[in-house]
Amino acid sequence: MRLAATLDLLELRKAGRTPWRTRLVTLATVIVTVIAIVLILATTSRDARAFVTSISSNFAAVGFWVPECTVIFVPLALASLGVGLARRAGFWNIGGEAQILLGALGGFLLARLLPDLRAPFSQTLAIVAAFIFGACACGLFSLLKTHRGADEVLTTLLSNFLVLHFIAYLVGGPLRDPESKWIQSSTLFEAYRFARISGFGRMNTSIVVLIIGSVCFLLLERRTSWSTLLKLNGDNPNAVSALRIDPNRVILGASLVSGGLCGMAGWIELAGNQYRLVQDLSPGYGFYAILVAVIGGGTVLRTLLTAVVFALLLHTIDGVVRDAGVPVYMKEAILGLGLLVYVVNERLRTHSFVVRPH
Amino acid sequence: MANLEMAESLLRVGVPIGFAAYGELLLERAGIVNLGIEGKFLLGACLGWLLTSVTGHPLVGLISVIIMGALLGGIFWFLIDVMECSQHVVGLGMGFSATGIALTLYRMVPAEIKDSSLPYTGWEIASLIVLAVLLFAGFILLAIFFTRTGKGLSWVLVGEDARAADILGVPVRLIRIGASVTGTILFFIAGWILSVLVARNFTLGLVSGRGWLALCLVILAGWRPLGVTLAVVLWSILDVSQFAAQGAGMPIPYELILTVPYCVCIFAVTGFLPRHRAPTMLLKTYNRNEDAA
């Protein structure tokens, strides 16, 4: 019983949300995180000099790293906007990976069905198909949540592995490229690809999709009542009911758009970067999107800004993985630590941790 | 002879997942969901294998993974119960961190240790049998514990209504920290079993979804100890028989079989199954100083 009494002494007490406290905690968190990331990366690299050279050479040529970062940025930003939108409405979309893969599958199947389509139509239709596939994958779980009470974190999380195995089956079986020795689908037709912008490395026209999407999102956020409705629903579904609006429909709408955006992200990764369907098409964008979305706090500009920072971070890590022998799995550790730092920081901004005096 | 081999494969598939499922069951009945099983499984496998091959003593590996599990279980409890952070985010965050750390650790291990798998000494299968018996006994004892003993009822009550338990004088936090620590230790032990007793080596894809699978099995069995036992046994049989079926030339793609537990699990949480109800406190934080909503 002594232990039980000791455990009960630890508690979290609400502290005033004073500006200096909020800022100090956030600043301290950011500094600690940056130092931790650099230390982790540096200690796992072959030697410190290779590490520094890798970073400096990576960022020496603007013509190199800007296009490289956009290749990461575009799908990541779309997925993050999607996850953030659903989060705002009170729906945790952890199934980004599944929707990314399904979106890519949707576009790819369309390309298989209509191989003769010309360029602007083919790309537009493929994006629509990707959106629909992703939206269905997410909307299903919102219906299960609202009508059957199934916790969406669990169902969307599990859908990731379900879809991953399903795609593995497809690319290893029905969709497998018979001429390749690798387990992958055949390459995508030229008409469906996002063309590379000449002179800008791997940067491609998919950035147009992101720009259009972001503008639509900004208008949605600033000029429509739907965004207010989403926020209201996330904070208090009863308030939405009081407006004689069905909260379930708000969640359904948000989750459809959320899944659709993730699906588009998947299609952009396929048609803009990799050109074929593989099991590990997404390098974890669906999971990074959760972190980007929560740090972005649901607003479009902050989410985009956070996505830029993450694209830079991922690009830097790719560089030191390639040049300085840092294990690629560091990415996963940093993602996890980032999530933990984020939640603890959120708590400490408004609460303080105390050991209750006797 | 074929039957003996079959039984051995059943043990190799079932025992690690069984241990992980046992840990998750303990946690979930106390109202805690740990979404980091996969990562902890992997970290346990990596640490267990590394220390076993460096020192040559499997028990050194076992003891160190137990210590590591207790430590991480304590941190997990602190974050969700004292800091009152979301169980989802903390679980996923710790899971990703553990996966990243385990695989990074593996990359930094010198190649001569990596290439030498542990030799078979013959006692592995004996230990697996002992562990399987322990596991069965453990599940049966857990079923009795949850339904027929006062302490077990308190444990279940913490998972159903922590406030009521607190009013009755049940040490809520003690039970929740106990669940976190024992649960996490069991995930780590599951990893140790997988790398040291089953595979005798560590590879990057060693765990490959077994942690998520354990979570699924607990949920689709309706959080009941005997149901989880049955689910683990059924999954082992399915997994082993599909290998046999493929050996016999029957083309059922393994990937499609892997999707089955996830489908069943998603179906199970949608409430269409009779007598399938989650512990009420699942995912909720309990603060004794705040008024009930």
Phi and psi (nearest 5°) for B118? -65, 135
- Going by C-alpha positions, the residue among A125, A117, A97 that lies closest to residue A265 is A97
Residues 6+ positions from A108 with CB-CB distance below 8 Å: A175, A185, A188, A270, A277
The pLDDT-based confidence of B293 (bands split at 50, 70, 90) is very low
Chain A contact probe: residue of B88, B206, B280 with most A CBs at under 10 A:
B88
Which residues on chain B are in Cβ contact (under 8 Å) with A155?
266, 269-270
Residues 6+ positions from B64 with CB-CB distance below 8 Å: B47, B48, B51
- Going by C-alpha positions, the residue among A30, A153, A96, A83 that lies closest to residue A300 is A83
The answer to whether A270 touches A133, Cβ cutoff 8 Å, is no
| Shortest CA gap B11–chain A (Å) | 24
- Going by C-alpha positions, the residue among A112, A106, A103, A137 that lies closest to residue A265 is A103
The answer to whether B191 touches B239, Cβ cutoff 8 Å, is no
Residues 6+ positions from A93 with CB-CB distance below 8 Å: A82, A83, A86, A87, A99, A138, A152, A156, A255, A258, A259, A262, A290
pLDDT in tens, B162-183: 999 999 999 999 999 999 999 9
Which residues on chain B are in Cβ contact (under 8 Å) with A331?
100
Chain A contact probe: residue of B83, B109, B256, B267 with most A CBs at under 10 A:
B83
Identity of the residue in B96, B263, B271 whose CB atom sits nearest the CB atom of A148? B271
**Residue bearing the bigger pLDDT, B26 or B221:** B26
Instruction: Answer left, alpha or beta for residue B286, where phi above 0 means left and psi between -120 and 50 means alpha.
Output: beta
B103 contacts A8? CB cut-off 8 A? no
Q: Which two tokens stand for residue A187?
A: 């390459």
One digit per residue, the tens of pLDDT, for chain A of length 358 reads: 588 888 888 888 777 666 777 778 778 888 888 887 787 777 777 777 888 888 888 788 777 888 888 999 999 999 999 999 998 888 889 899 999 999 999 999 999 888 888 878 888 899 999 999 999 999 999 998 888 878 888 889 889 999 999 999 998 888 888 888 888 888 888 888 888 887 777 888 888 889 999 999 899 888 888 888 888 888 888 888 888 888 888 899 999 999 999 999 999 999 888 888 888 888 889 988 988 988 887 788 999 999 998 898 888 888 888 888 788 888 888 888 888 988 888 888 778 777 776 5
Looking at residue A358, its pLDDT comes to 52
The DSSP result for B261-275, as a single string, is: HHHHHHHHHTT-STT
Determine the Cα–Cα distance for residues B125 and A95; give it in Å rounded to an integer.
39
Identity of the residue in A11, A151, A155 whose CB atom sits nearest the CB atom of B289? A11
* Domains along chain B with CATH numbers: 2-279 (1.10.3470)
Parallel, antiparallel or unpaired: strands A10-14 and A351-355: antiparallel
ipTM confidence score: 0.88
Whether the per-residue pLDDT at B1 is higher than 60: the answer is: no
Burial class of residue A22, CB neighbours in 10 A (0-12, 13-18, 19+):
middle
Looking at residue A1, its pLDDT comes to 58
Q: Which two tokens stand for residue A51?
A: 């590490």
- Going by C-alpha positions, the residue among B224, B216, B34 that lies closest to residue B146 is B224
Nearest CA in chain A to B251: A173
Alpha-helical regions (H) of A1-95: 2-9, 19-44, 48-58, 62-88
**Residue bearing the bigger pLDDT, A24 or B37:** B37
Q: Which two tokens stand for residue B139?
A: 């599940």
The answer to whether A292 touches A307, Cβ cutoff 8 Å, is yes
- Going by C-alpha positions, the residue among A112, A147, A118, A138 that lies closest to residue A264 is A138
Residue A134: how many other CB atoms lie within 10 Å: 35
Mean local confidence (pLDDT), B12-39: 94
A161 contacts B262? CB cut-off 8 A? yes
| Shortest CA gap B99–chain A (Å) | 7
Q: Which two tokens stand for residue A252?
A: 């359904």
Looking at residue B219, its pLDDT comes to 87
- Going by C-alpha positions, the residue among A347, A320, A251, A335 that lies closest to residue A289 is A335
Burial class of residue B263, CB neighbours in 10 A (0-12, 13-18, 19+):
middle
* Planar angle of CA A198, A200, A204, nearest 5 degrees: 75
pLDDT in tens, B114-132: 877 777 777 888 999 999 9
Looking at residue A188, its pLDDT comes to 83
**A38 vs B: CB within 8 A:** no
Q: How many helices (H) and strands (E) does chain A have?
A: 14, 2
The answer to whether A78 touches A261, Cβ cutoff 8 Å, is yes
- What CA–CA distances, in Å, run from B190 to B19, B59, B100, B162? 5, 14, 18, 29
Q: Which two tokens stand for residue B208?
A: 């490959």
- The domain A2-11+20-350 having CATH identifier 1.10.3470: the answer here is yes
Q: Which two tokens stand for residue B94?
A: 């710790």
Which residues on chain B are in Cβ contact (under 8 Å) with A8?
171, 173, 288
Which residues on chain B are in Cβ contact (under 8 Å) with A101?
none
